[in-house]
Structure 1
Amino acid sequence: MSVEVVDWSPRWAVQFEEVAAVLREALAGVPSAQVEHVGSTSVPGLAAKPVLDVDVIVEPYDVSPAVRVLESVGYVHRGDLGVAGREALHAPDRPRRNVYVCTAGTTNVRNHLAVRDVLRSRADLREAYAAVKRALAADPGMDIDTYVAGKTAVLQEVLTASGAFSDAELAAIRRLNDAG
């Protein structure tokens, strides 16, 4: 099974806004909910897998209500998939996307936001990350776990550049990425 990485598309920002509008409307009764475009599709100019990543960031007491609301509009709850503080949901329609209900302030959320923000502002790291992703995806036998692990070193550079993580947090993120 191969991994597809394509040139960045301005369509992704439009698709995110369409998805976010629906999510915000559905989550109107969840006071702390914020909808964020994260992942490579959120970074103009960055090559990416053509799948949006969306974090619905909520306070701890709003995690279950947010999941229930999203289930009521067709999302399928998939559990935390091994990442504490993050509940994965399968989207009921297109565009292809990963939607996560995330607890505000967790390392996972801070990781997503820091990677996005650094890559938006640092062309050198954006280009280095794109080169690694393209090289990994060029292997026709590439699987998603090996792909994720293969990006770990450059992502550690990005996270270090953010200045937002302790050495212990960087090590925890590295272990999670290496685990696939």
Structure 2
Amino acid sequence: MDDVEIVNYDPRWPVLFDEEAKRLRAVLDPSLIVGLEHFGSTAVPGLSAKPIIDILIAVQSLADAQATFVEALRNLDYVYWADNPKKDRMFFVKGMPPFGSRRSHHVHVTEPHGEMWQRLAFRDYLRAHPEEATTYERLKRRLAAEHQTDREAYTDAKSAYVETVMRKAIKRA
């Protein structure tokens, strides 16, 4: 079972990101990486979240990353989602059953002009606007209760809100 669980903010999340970022940088070709960021809800101080550290890596070339990242991340116990229908990114999960007891980290790999990299604006907007983060937290808790066993439905249900905040963030930039 891979339930949607929202927990209170954990001040260790940035530390867990830093530790994993060091491990990633140790096994990935540094010439490919143009950015490595903590993103998602665990990257917003005070925000409740699924206890999964989301890491976003921007690379010069997704094709070059596909040639070397899969094996390198497998050595750090990540599972690669080869069948991802979104071809502008790569997605890896650490700890997902049956390979672990629960998800602990997600690694998203994209190019810097990609939609995923643009999502950093969402994180930055929530960091700068705590009242918006509180609104998002209430929404996430409600949706997690409604879609406890359906991660995809939970994510889809948040998308309209995320788009609204993205528009505000882009306007502000």
TM bin, normalised by shorter chain, reads 0.7 to 0.9
- Does structure 1 retain, via aligned residues, the 8 Å contact 2:58–2:112? yes
Cα RMSD (Å) of the superposition? 2.3
Gaps of 5+ in 1: 165-180
Contact 2:80 2:91 in 1 (8 A): yes
Question: 1:91 Cα shift?
Answer: 2.3
Deviation at 1:95, TM superposition (A): 7.2
Question: SS in structure 1 opposite 2:107?
Answer: strand
Given candidates 143, 148, 154, the residue that maps to 1:147 is: 154
TM-score of the two chains, using structure 1 as the length reference: 0.79
Q: Given the alignment, which residue of 77, 85, 107 partners 1:99?
A: 107
**Equivalent position SS for 2:48:** coil
Match of 1:41 in 2: 42
The offset of 1:72, in angstroms, is 4.3
> Could you say which residue in structure 2 is the equivalent of 1:31?
31
Cα offsets for 1:95-116 (capped at 9, x unmatched): 71111222221012212x1111
For the structure 1 residues 59 and 80, does the alpha-carbon distance in structure 2 shift closer, same or farther, using more than 3 Å as the test?
farther
Confirm or deny that 1:120 pairs with 2:121.
no
Distance in structure 2 (CA, Å) of the matches to 1:160 and 1:139: 26
Task: Label 1:95 to 1:89 Cα distance change in 2 as closer, same or farther (>3 A).
Answer: closer
Alpha-carbon distance between aligned partners in 2 of 1:140 and 1:57, rounded to the nearest angstrom? 31
Give unmatched runs, 5+ long, in structure 2: none
* 1:178 alignment partner in structure 2: none
Give aligned pairs, total: 162
Contact 2:143 / 2:157 at 8 angstroms: preserved in 1? yes
Partner secondary structure for residue 91 of structure 2? strand
After superposition, the C-alpha distances for 1:134-160 in whole angstroms (9 at most, x for unaligned) are: 111233755212211221222122101
Alignment of 1:1-180 (within 5 A): 2-27=3-28, 29-33=29-33, 34-60=35-61, 62-64=64-66, 65-79=68-82, 81-91=84-94, 96-111=104-119, 113-139=120-146, 141-163=148-170
Q: Distance in 2 between matches of 1:84 and 1:12?
A: 29
Q: Distance in 1 between matches of 2:43 and 2:105?
A: 12
After TM superposition, the structure 1 stretch with the greater mean CA deviation from structure 2, 60-69 or 16-25, is 60-69
